[in-house]
Amino acid sequence: MNALLPIIALILGLIFGALPLFCYIKHLKKDKDSLKNVALDLAKAEVQIKRIPQLERDLESWREKASSLTAEQAAYKRGEEEREKAYSIQIEQLKATEEALSQKFDSLAAKTLEKAHGQFLEQAQSRFSQSEREGEAKLELLLQPVRESLKRYEESVKQAEQLRQTEYGSLTSLVAAMREGQDAVKNEANKLVNALRTAPKARGCWGEQQLRNVLESCGLSEYVDFETEVSINTEKGRLRPDALIRIPNGSVLIVDSKVSLNAYQDAYDAVEEDARKLYLAAHSKAIKNHIDGLSQKSYWDQFKEAPDYVIMFIPGEHFLSAALEQDHNLWEYAFQKRVLLATPTNLIAIARTVAAVWRQEDIAHNARKIGELGKELYERISRVDSHMRALGSSLENSVKNYNKFVGSFESRVLVTARKFRDLNIETKDQMLKEAPNLEIMPRLVAED
C-alpha cells in the first residue's frame, strides 16, 4: 500500500499539471481561428478598397447625369408652363367663339322653328279639314248598317215584347192550370191516404200492387216466374199468400205483403215528440203482430216445395226503419219466427237473384239441348258415313268392271270390227274409236 502512494501522487501531479497546459492549448486554438477570421475580413476589405476608385468614378458619372436630368426637367417645366398659357388662351378663344355661334344658332333656330311652325299649322289645318270631310263620309258609310241594324233591332224588340206578353198570358194560364193540378193531386193523395187508413182491403191491394211492380221490374213475368193470389184449403182454413216465386229447382218462395200504416201516419202527423214516440211504438207492435200472424200460418207446411220460412214484404223502407228504431231486435224476432222481413230494396235483390238463376237455368237447358242435338247429329253422320263408304266401294267395283269390259271389248270385238274397214265396207262412221280406261277412283274417307 505504501508503495502505491508515490505512484498515485505522481499520477495526480501529472493530471493537475496537465490541466493548465490543456487550457492554454485550447486558448491558442481559439486565437488561431480568430486570426483566420481576421485575415478573411482583411482580404475582403482589401477587395472593397480596390473598388473604391471605380465607385468614385461611377458616382461622378451619376452626379453628371443627375445634373443633366435636373436641367432637362427645368427646361420641360418652363415649356409646360408656356404650353399651359397657350392652352388657356386657346380655350378662352374657343369659349368666345362657342358663345357667338350659340347666339347665332339660337337666332337661326328660332326663325326656322317659327317658319316651320307656321307651315305646319297651315298644312295641318288643310289636312284636318280634308280628313274631317273624309271621316264624316266614311263614318256615314259605317253608321248606315248600324242604323239599319238598330232599326231592325227595335222592330225585333217590339215583336219580342208582343210575343212576351202573349207568352206571359199563356204562362199565367199554365201556372194557374198547374196550381189546379197540384191541388187535384193533393186532394187525390189525401183521398189515397184516407183510403189506406180507413180501408184495410185498399191497403192490401196497394201492397200487392207494389209487390207485383217490384217483381216485374226485376224481369220476372207473372204466370211464368211468379203467381199471385194463389189459395189453398187447409185444416186451419183457407190460405192465400200474395205471391209464389218459382225457383228453377222446383221450389217456390212464399211472399206475403203486409201494410201497417195507421200508427205510422199518426206518428208522422204528431206535433209533440212524446206522442210521436208512442205512435211509433204502436207501429212497431203492429208489424210484430203481422210477423206472429204469418208465423202461425206455417206456409212451409202447406207448400211442400217451399223453404221453411216466408217473406214478409213491407212496401216502404221508411215503414220498416221506423219500426226498427223502436225495436232493434225486431229483425231477429222475425227470423226466429221463420219470417224474413223484406222492403223493396232487398226484395229487388232477391228477385234479381231469382231472375239470374232462371237465366242460368235457361242457359243450362239450352246447353243440354245442344248436347242432345250434337249426339243425334253425330249418330246421323255416322250412318251417312257408312252409306258413303258403301257407295264408294260400289263405285270402285263399277270402275274395275268397266275397265275389264273395255279390255275385253278392244281385244275381242274391235279387232274383228276393224277387218270390215279393210274390206272397204261403207259405214256411216268410218273410224272406230278406242274406249278409254277410267283412271279416276273414288276418294277414300279419312279414318278417325
CA dist 337 and 144 (Å) reads: 91
CA dist 223 and 398 (Å) reads: 65
DSSP element (H, E) containing 348 = helix 344-408
Strands (E), 144-231: 226-228
Do residues 445 and 389 make contact, with C-beta atoms less than 8 angstroms apart? yes
Per domain, the residue ranges of the chain are 199-374
Q: What was the pLDDT predicted at 31?
A: 64
CA of residue 206 relative to chain centroid, distance: 47
CA dist 337 and 320 (Å) reads: 17
**How do 243-246 and 226-228 pair as beta strands?**
antiparallel
Q: What are phi and psi of 270, to 5 degrees?
A: -70, 145
Task: Tell me the three state secondary structure of residue 399.
Answer: helix
Task: Tell me the three state secondary structure of residue 101.
Answer: helix
Each residue's pLDDT, cut to its tens digit, for the chain (448 residues) gives 555 666 666 666 666 665 665 665 666 666 667 667 766 777 776 777 777 777 777 777 777 777 777 777 777 777 777 877 877 887 887 778 777 776 776 676 566 656 655 665 566 566 656 666 665 666 566 656 666 766 776 777 777 777 767 766 666 666 666 666 666 655 555 555 554 555 556 666 777 787 788 888 877 777 667 778 777 776 766 778 878 888 777 778 888 888 777 777 777 777 788 888 888 888 888 888 888 888 888 877 877 777 788 888 888 888 888 888 888 888 899 888 888 888 888 888 777 877 777 777 777 777 778 877 777 777 777 777 777 777 777 777 777 777 777 777 777 766 776 676 666 666 665 565 666 665 665 665 555 5
CA dist 102 and 231 (Å) reads: 131
Is 49 exposed, middle or buried, given 0-12, 13-18 or 19+ CB atoms closer than 10 A?
A: exposed
What DSSP character marks residue 251?
-
What DSSP character marks residue 145?
H
Q: What was the pLDDT predicted at 441?
A: 59
Cβ-based neighbour number of residue 389 at 10 Å:
13
Closest residue by Cα to residue 275 from 267, 283, 263, 285: 267
Q: What was the pLDDT predicted at 190?
A: 56
Is 264 exposed, middle or buried, given 0-12, 13-18 or 19+ CB atoms closer than 10 A?
A: buried
Do residues 260 and 294 make contact, with C-beta atoms less than 8 angstroms apart? no
Residue 222 backbone zone (phi > 0: left; psi -120 to 50: alpha; other: beta): beta
Span between the terminal Cα atoms of the chain, in Å: 147
Q: What was the pLDDT predicted at 166?
A: 73
Task: Tell me the CA distances in angstroms from 351 to 26, 227, 358, one per residue in order.
Answer: 137, 13, 10
Residue 157, CB-side half-sphere exposure with 13 Å CA sphere: 6
Q: Hey, which CATH number is domain 199-374, 3.40.1350, 2.40.50, 1.20.1300, 1.10.10?
A: 3.40.1350
Do residues 289 and 234 make contact, with C-beta atoms less than 8 angstroms apart? no
**How do 237-239 and 232-234 pair as beta strands?**
antiparallel
Do residues 283 and 265 make contact, with C-beta atoms less than 8 angstroms apart? no
